[in-house]
Chains A and B, each alone.
Chain A
Amino acid sequence: MSIALKEALVQRYFLSKVIQSIVLLFGVLLLVFVMVRITGDPAALMMPREASQEHVEAFREKMGFNDPVMVQFGRFISGAIVGDFGNSLHFKTPAMPLVLQRLPATVQLALAGLVMAVVVGVPLGLVGGFNPGSLVDSLGRFLALLGQSVPNFWLALILILYFAVRLRWFPSFGRDELKSVVLPAFVMGLPVMGQIVRLTRSAVLEIRGEDFIRTAHSKGLEPRTIYTKHVLRNVAIPLVSVIGVQFGYMLGGSIYIEIIFSWPGMGQLLEQAIGWRDFPLVQALAVFTSLVVLGLNLLTDMAYAVIDPRIRYG
């Protein structure tokens, strides 16, 4: 294959992924718009109960809830393209900056959780895969089982009761010091760690049995070279994909953990925004989170292409 053709293929691959993401994002916008509107009348919720019918109607008119749905959708899309989701109904300030304000806390928590999951999970999985049945393997599999089966809200409360209330090692809530991140990050990272252990282990086991590994052995390569060059590179492919997906999930799906630990991130804001029927804020959060997930998926796809030539030229 000529170099020019290779480049063309790579470009086509990336381009198709980018286009896919844009189409998906548009789908997300449509879905968010529709779903927020089928859950209830925001005017009824935003207005105090004593307010008269007349006041509620005036409020609805002011917020544009009386316009035809297509007009509302047009307004939503044209705003969304430039990141303008209007003012939050509850906070009265533009919605997008409120979301971005919460981003650092959520990213910190997700990153801390992910680092814990990877740092503990990958070595356990590798050792288990290379030495199935060993003590470390059993430990890894047990932790994996635990991580994937313990409900996180329960674990969070237990950790607070034990490590915050009884031992006083960590704060029970908030994001005041570096120590604050430990408990929520552990709760967040544990199920991901479980998944990583299992995935790494089974990938190693599977690849060790492949023909090309046997060939490598038979042509007299050092086991160390085989492990690093052939096995690890192949293990990395499913791992990268899982890490990418999980990181996106952690950025968007940490509502329970953020609430229980009173972590001032996006998940907590989303829960409040839904409770308040704060359309603009919910929309801004949902679209932003989707954007982050789509971006991560795109990066994951690109990472594949770097690791695995088969995907690049496939």
Chain B
Amino acid sequence: MKSRLFSILTAAVVLAILAVQCAPETIVETVEVIKEVEKEVEVVKEVEVEVEKEVIIEVEVTAVPPPEGPEGTLVRAVSTFPNSLDHPQAAERQASTTDFQLYDSLVWFGEGGTIVPQLAESWEVSDDATEYTFHLREGVVFHNGEPFNADAVVFNWERVVASDFEYAYHWKVATSVETVDEYTVKATLEKPDALFLSLVADNWAMIPPGYFEEVGQEGFNEHPMGTGPFVFVEWVKGDHITMEANPDYWRGAPKIQTVIFRPIPESATRVAAIQTGEVDIVTRLSSEEAQSLLGVENVKVIKYPKTRIYYVAFNNLTTGLDQPTMDPMVRQAMNYAVDVDTIIDALFDGFAEPAAGYVASGELGYGAVEPFGYDPDKALALLSEAGYPDGFAMDMACPAGAYTHFEEVCEAVVGYLGDVGIDATLEIMESGHYWDLEANKELPPLFGDSWSAAGGEAFRRLTGALGGMDASYSAWSDPEIDRMLDEIKATPDQDERAALYGELQVYMQEDPPFIYLYQPVAFEAINTRVQGYNPFPFEGYDLFETWVIEE
């Protein structure tokens, strides 16, 4: 009797839960939502076709003009919290893009990987490409009123070069930085480095010398300061960072009064918080999450291809030395064997782009080659020609939990290789362990990974993955590639460099060091009250142009 009442109650509640889930009105609602979503998806796909060549989908033009002065509050969610707001100490992208709202560099990134003036109005490069003379903007002041001048640049360089920061080597590229006159500064490089300006743009955040000397490194970490559009207000660790408009900014005051950064590590919570309006910008959404936000009132989804390339790497340094993949024809065959488009459709709802070589769209020299495309017959023919008509067996590895759906991608690659007779045995490993093995060049002769690159050029991705024994994560060495990379490095002219990237891509298509996979798409969602927000492909953004419509 007693236990029966309990069972009846339990059953009743279970039934009630089921009933709630199956209630007719709920069904109607669900169907409506699905319809809406489908409609929206179609619309987005149409838009995608129109703007495919552009890197960023423009935020729609609205009738609301930007305010005269700084107004309103913008809340931006970050997925991990910055370790430091001192730029050379920032450990990863979310930290360095957050802190860069406080700072300016000498130069900055323009469209399509070009370099534009920022704190330097202009610059000259010596004929041997080892001396850069920067003419600084006059009248710029730091947030504490200290003037920005050539001495400040020298101080900044000396500070970081003398430090033990992990990213100090981005400053050590210059072997000396000297004052020429109050607003002219000369940086000397040991050997030519065509990427110097993009390194400067990405890393040389200027801080006030007098203030730093007064408060010291720890004081600066607690209250950082630069010349940027926003001024540091407070940082409650793990909870929020607050910045306010810099009314004396040299480009004019920004259009938002207060910017708050909030950490939300769980993406499902970010999706909830953008819907409730608690935050105005959320990033790092999956395609499923982005689609669930289509059609939600007051929420707008934006997407752009990331400058990251996924690939399966070959090895010609250690474990791959006695493998069939030493033959370039075999490597070509394996590229033809994998149907990247189907992988993208099946796993990413079509929201990724097949990698065309190792230069990402939006980077200098992109578009010189086409993706291999899926051609299993050609793959079989190439394998026969190379002397493997019956295929061969090989080991392969991929990291677990490191990238969205990457385990499934690897499994699909194994399946496609199997179709042309290549029997790949896949081992999926914990990512920390995986990267240890990768750094020691002990991974199997086929291994999956991805590589991002900031700075508008693929150069660091190329040297990182193809730098031979000197590069931590490289399993490939080719003197011809080395030669071409050296040439790119010694060529300061952007157009000439773009052509060289093209040549290198053609070479890397004939003698591929990778199975090229895809370039992922980044999804962000913003509240519709946010205007003029344009993220860059490398997950950077500049809130100077952004404003919010106050209700």
Nearest chain B residue, comparing its CB with the CB of A174: B262
Whether A51 contacts B276 by the Cβ 8 Å rule is no
Which of B13, B166, B276, B433 is close to A59, meaning CB atoms less than 8 Å apart?
B166
**Bound: A107/B169 CA distance, A:** 42
Q: How far is the CB of B482 from chain A (nearest CB, A)?
A: 14
A51-B169, A145-B10, A164-B276 known; A264+B239 contact, CB < 8 A:
yes
User: What size tier do the contact residues of chain B reach?
Assistant: 35 or more
Contact string against B for A residues 90-101, beta-carbon threshold 8 Å, 1 for contact and 0 otherwise: 111100001001
Nearest chain B residue, comparing its CB with the CB of A54: B470
Q: Which of B255-294 contact A (CB under 8 A)?
A: 262-266, 268-269, 272-273, 275-276, 278
Whether B432 contacts A271 by the Cβ 8 Å rule is no
Q: Which of B205-258 contact A (CB under 8 A)?
A: 218, 221, 236-239
B91 within 8 A of A: yes
Known pairs A40-B430, A56-B472, A161-B272 / 11 extra A-B pairs, C-beta < 8 Å: A49-B473, A50-B464, A59-B166, A102-B237, A135-B5, A137-B2, A160-B268, A160-B272, A164-B276, A172-B276, A262-B262
A311 within 8 A of B: no
Contact string against B for A residues 237-269, beta-carbon threshold 8 Å, 1 for contact and 0 otherwise: 000000000000000000000011110110011
Whether B472 contacts A157 by the Cβ 8 Å rule is no
A272 within 8 A of B: yes
Chain B positions within 8 Å of A175 at CB level: 239
A49-B464, A101-B237 known; A139+B436 contact, CB < 8 A:
no
Chain A positions within 8 Å of B264 at CB level: 173, 262
B23 within 8 A of A: no
Q: Which of A19-76 contact B (CB under 8 A)?
A: 39-41, 44-56, 59, 62
**Bound: A47/B5 CA distance, A:** 62
A123 within 8 A of B: no
B439 within 8 A of A: yes
Which of B10, B237, B269 is close to A160, meaning CB atoms less than 8 Å apart?
B269
Whether B89 contacts A92 by the Cβ 8 Å rule is yes
Whether B6 contacts A138 by the Cβ 8 Å rule is yes
Binds A, one of B78-86, B378-386, B499-507: B78-86
User: What size tier do the contact residues of chain A reach?
Assistant: 35 or more
Chain B positions within 8 Å of A271 at CB level: 265
Whether B463 contacts A50 by the Cβ 8 Å rule is yes
What would 24 A/B residue contacts be, using CB atoms closer than 8 Å? A40-B430, A40-B432, A48-B166, A49-B464, A51-B169, A52-B470, A52-B471, A53-B471, A53-B472, A91-B83, A98-B237, A101-B238, A135-B5, A138-B6, A142-B9, A157-B268, A161-B272, A174-B239, A174-B262, A174-B278, A260-B269, A262-B262, A262-B264, A264-B238
B322 within 8 A of A: no
Taking beta carbons and an 8 Å cutoff, which residues of B are in contact with A?
1-3, 5-6, 9-10, 13, 80-81, 83-84, 89, 91, 164, 166-167, 169, 218, 221, 236-239, 262-266, 268-269, 272-273, 275-276, 278, 430, 432-433, 435-436, 439, 451, 460, 463-464, 467, 469-473
Q: Is the interface of B mostly helix, strand, loop or mixed?
A: helix
Q: How far is the CB of A67 from chain B (nearest CB, A)?
A: 18
Whether B435 contacts A47 by the Cβ 8 Å rule is no
**Bound: A160/B10 CA distance, A:** 25
A198 within 8 A of B: no
**Bound: A172/B268 CA distance, A:** 10
Q: How far is the CB of A295 from chain B (nearest CB, A)?
A: 24
Chain A positions within 8 Å of B3 at CB level: 133
